[in-house]
Chains A and B, each alone.
Chain A
Amino acid sequence: MKAGLFISEGDGAISGVIDVRALEARYDGAEVVRVLDNLHCAASLRLIAEEVRNRKLDAVVLAGESPLFYSRTRNGGRILEMLQGLDINANRIGIVNLREQVSIPHAKEPVEATKKAKVLIDVAMEKVRVLRDVGMIEVAPKRTVAVIGSQPGGFFTAMRLLERGFHILFIDHRPVPPEGDFLPQVIPTIASVKNHPDVKFYSAGITDLYGYAGNFRIKLGGDINLRAGGIVVSIGDDAEYAGRLYPYLRIERDSNGHFRNVMSDTAVTETVNPGIFLIPPGPHLSHTIASADSAAMSLDALLSKNSVNHELFVSEVDQEVCGGCGTCIKTCIFKASEIDQVTKLSSTNIKRCVGCGNCVSACPTGARDQVSATTKYLMSAIGILSGYEPPNGIKVLYLACEGCGYPSLDYAGKEGIEYATSVMPLSVKCAGRIDTQLILEAFRRGFRGVVICKCSDDHCLNIVGNLDLDRRANLFRAVLGSRGISPERLRIFGVTSCEGGSCVANAMDFINHLKTLEATA
């Protein structure tokens, strides 16, 4: 394994706190270590690409921006594409969040921030070392787009796509309202879409939806099976309908229950679920039309490709170990765990699996593992994180789900909220992935508290991951008690994805609570 470590100065924002030169000098696990002004400008990217090519690197660790920069912005996404274009497997790309989770919240403690940064880099290096390459599948995109909802925006997207030869499926839980119900200036577009031969209307509830960007399968009540390459959600501000669609679409919702885009300024129509686009209700019709055009453009770009590649970040089953108990079948809300009728062993339906890892936690044999974060990796990561010794303060493991917990901690950073360096973050795909074995390992390794920040009720992108964590934790508290660890040393709280302040307040309150607990013990 030849890994390259690229550390960003954050154009001064990171290097103003963290001694990046010391990190560069101290890091000997990598083939090459480079400190760059930043990791996203053209010159930096050229240099990274050169190093990958010249030194034949097969793993890259980017220490600087948050993983959310890579998953939620176009520039970040292009950097990952560039690395994969250089034959770096997605599982060999490690990302260390030095900006939002080290340099900003620990701005006043540069020495500790540097020590913590080193540990977080170690975790990313461990990840690219121990994970196996993730496989890919190719999907030939369908040139059909499903529009969910009957708001004007959906009609405008439909019109644009019809002009480019796409087929459109309108899906709503109620019949399309008569044209007279719409604003006069949008009626001509709605009328022309309604009359178009390549448009079909369905008024029925969605009962099943799975697949990937490029090929979704949608089932409606009344046994109607549809296929679409992409999906546009145009339901306006109907929070009740959003609530019914959320288990199928798995898009974030805000605290009012409305679907959220990933970035309200630069990625207005993108959602956390690739291939599903959103036309958010805008204050003016012009916003809606702009969003509709943007969604149409993105779908055209996506679905006009010859093939779309997907990494198989799924749950894998070791058939040598699976005994066919059926626990994973009952665990999976997405019906992605299947039992073979002949061998009576479990397997994963890769079209349905979202990779949340709930079945990996549930599997009592260890036959199941998560391709994006194996149990071995998570156990090592906990061990490495426990190696940071804060000068004062109580060391706690902060397990954050990628849905809400991790983004919230990032928001805290963006808002400039400071907190103790002794909060050691580890992101997991979903609260459902938090196997109680990991919590026990954290205490064994010397963490004095474990705090889990998960999606609040009805906000879990994997629908039941947060619920299953609660059930596991409720049973597990007795185990902590039996080992002489106060069950109060495990705290779980839920947030929606942009509550930076409350997640830090909760973590700090937890640390204060532990101080009281230890003082009175």
Chain B
Amino acid sequence: MKKLKVSTGHLDGCFGCHIAILDMHEELLPLLDVIDIVRSPINDVKEIVEADLCILDGSIGNTKDEAVAKEFRKKSGKVLALGTCAALGGINGLRNLFGLDEVLARSYTENESTVDGRVPSSPDIPALRKHVRALHQVIDVDYAVPGCPPTPGMIKSALVALLNNQEPLLPKKNLCHECNRVHKAMYEPKREFVTADVSSIMELDEIDPQKCFLEQGLLCMGPATREGCDARCVKGNTPCRGCMGPTPDALEQGAKMINAIASILPAGALMFMEDVVGIGYRYSLPVSIMPFREDR
């Protein structure tokens, strides 16, 4: 059988999604019988070559990201956006709330650990784009697997589906569906429920590992977040931060979380109010209805 030629590439991101590929561990081995990794930072092949499938992680932040993404698109049969940065713009996208000058100044001159800093300028350094964009906002993308990073299981399922000529399907429901915590107050048809006023997770001596976080007064982004991550944070007794992005039927994540939280006050509201924008749009600002600040 002819092996599927796969290339992988890295754009604006933390490389965590490539690590997640390696985190498949021995489960990667049978896959290597049927796929051929022709180009990847993992095998250190630098030249972008023709492939049946290309897997790109990271968002589009600068001119190089854009050029690399376009080159991959040209040389690849199908393109898979891997991880939240590629699929939704990711956490890098939060810089869209600031002007480019502010971003550069913050990084190179205003940073507390910087002395006599200056914004580097050289033709060799790719120029930052004004706004961070998700991959599909720059090139045609065939499939996307969100997650920061996606679980190795999600990556494997996507690859297996593609090897069987099927489209990798993403779930449509929110995280509450795969979260096994017990809902009690949330299922009572009463307008308000009493929770402790929690403005930070550190305030609690103990977090009940069985009970819905919102019912404990803790902000959990689960209701406004797509499932599919195996609820790994929640299993680790940590509320969801929303890295899978909005469910496909919501138009965006931040506004939807506001709508929901306003109805279930005071659950999680104090924590949310610490930073409504930063929390609501942490991973998905570039795919928001208004993906950037217009006046900067």
Partner-B contacts on A (CB < 8 A): 318, 320-327, 329-333, 335, 337-339, 344, 358, 361-367, 375, 379, 435-437, 439-441, 443-444, 464, 468, 471-472, 474-476, 478-479, 482-485
Besides the known contacts A361-B259, A365-B247, 12 further A-B residue pairs in the complex with CB atoms under 8 A apart: A320-B172, A324-B183, A332-B189, A364-B247, A365-B250, A436-B255, A437-B250, A437-B259, A440-B289, A478-B277, A484-B293, A485-B294
Q: Which one of B186, B190, B251, B280 lies within 8 Å of A325 (CB-CB)?
A: B186
Tell me how far the C-beta of B100 lies from the nearest C-beta in chain A, rounded to whole angstroms. Answer: 14
Contact A362 B296 (CB under 8 A): no
Instruction: Compute how far the CA of A375 lies from the CA of B177 in the bound complex, rounded to whole angstroms.
Output: 23
Q: Which one of B183, B188, B262 lies within 8 Å of A362 (CB-CB)?
A: B262
Tell me if B176 is interfacial: C-beta within 8 Å of chain A: yes
- Residues of the B chain whose Cβ atoms lie less than 8 Å from the Cβ of A322: 173, 177
Can you name 11 A-B residue pairings with CB atoms under 8 Å? Answer: A324-B176, A326-B186, A327-B260, A330-B191, A331-B263, A333-B191, A363-B260, A437-B250, A443-B290, A478-B277, A483-B294
Size of chain B's interface in residues, with CB distance under 8 A? 53
Interface mask (B269-293 → A, CB under 8 Å = 1, otherwise 0): 1001100110010000000111011
Contact A436 B259 (CB under 8 A): yes
Q: Which one of B177, B187, B248, B258 lies within 8 Å of A472 (CB-CB)?
A: B258
Closest to B221 in A: A364
Tell me how far the C-beta of B91 lies from the nearest C-beta in chain A, rounded to whole angstroms. Answer: 15
- Residues of the A chain whose Cβ atoms lie less than 8 Å from the Cβ of B256: 363-366, 435, 437
- Residues of the A chain whose Cβ atoms lie less than 8 Å from the Cβ of B259: 361-364, 435-437, 472
Interface mask (B98-139 → A, CB under 8 Å = 1, otherwise 0): 000000000000000000000000000000000000000000
Instruction: Compute how far the CA of A117 lies from the CA of B248 in the bound complex, rounded to whole angstroms.
Output: 35
- Residues of the B chain whose Cβ atoms lie less than 8 Å from the Cβ of A443: 290
Instruction: Compute how far the CA of A479 lies from the CA of B227 in the bound complex, rounded to whole angstroms.
Output: 25
- Residues of the B chain whose Cβ atoms lie less than 8 Å from the Cβ of A437: 250-252, 255-256, 259, 289
Contact A330 B273 (CB under 8 A): no
- Residues of the A chain whose Cβ atoms lie less than 8 Å from the Cβ of B257: 364
Tell me if B264 is interfacial: C-beta within 8 Å of chain A: yes
- Residues of the B chain whose Cβ atoms lie less than 8 Å from the Cβ of A475: 258, 261-262, 269, 272-273, 276
**8 Å CB interface, B178-230 against A:** 178, 183, 186-193, 222-224, 227
Tell me how far the C-beta of A480 lies from the nearest C-beta in chain B, rounded to whole angstroms. Answer: 9
**7 shortest interchain CB distances as A-B pairs:** A366-B249, A326-B186, A323-B177, A484-B295, A323-B174, A323-B173, A471-B262
Tell me how far the C-beta of B129 lies from the nearest C-beta in chain A, rounded to whole angstroms. Answer: 18
Tell me if B97 is interfacial: C-beta within 8 Å of chain A: yes
- Residues of the B chain whose Cβ atoms lie less than 8 Å from the Cβ of A435: 255-256, 259
Contact A482 B293 (CB under 8 A): yes
Contact B187 A326 (CB under 8 A): yes
Tell me if B150 is interfacial: C-beta within 8 Å of chain A: no
- Residues of the A chain whose Cβ atoms lie less than 8 Å from the Cβ of B190: 330
- Residues of the B chain whose Cβ atoms lie less than 8 Å from the Cβ of A363: 256, 259-260
- Residues of the A chain whose Cβ atoms lie less than 8 Å from the Cβ of B11: none
Instruction: Compute how far the CA of A441 lies from the CA of B291 in the bound complex, rounded to whole angstroms.
Output: 11
Instruction: Compute how far the CA of A499 lies from the CA of B289 in the bound complex, rounded to whole angstroms.
Output: 34
Instruction: Compute how far the CA of A362 lies from the CA of B173 in the bound complex, rounded to whole angstroms.
Output: 15
Contact B189 A379 (CB under 8 A): no
- Residues of the B chain whose Cβ atoms lie less than 8 Å from the Cβ of A440: 252, 255, 288-290
Tell me if B55 is interfacial: C-beta within 8 Å of chain A: no
Closest to B178 in A: A323
Instruction: Compute how far the CA of A472 lies from the CA of B269 in the bound complex, rounded to whole angstroms.
Output: 11
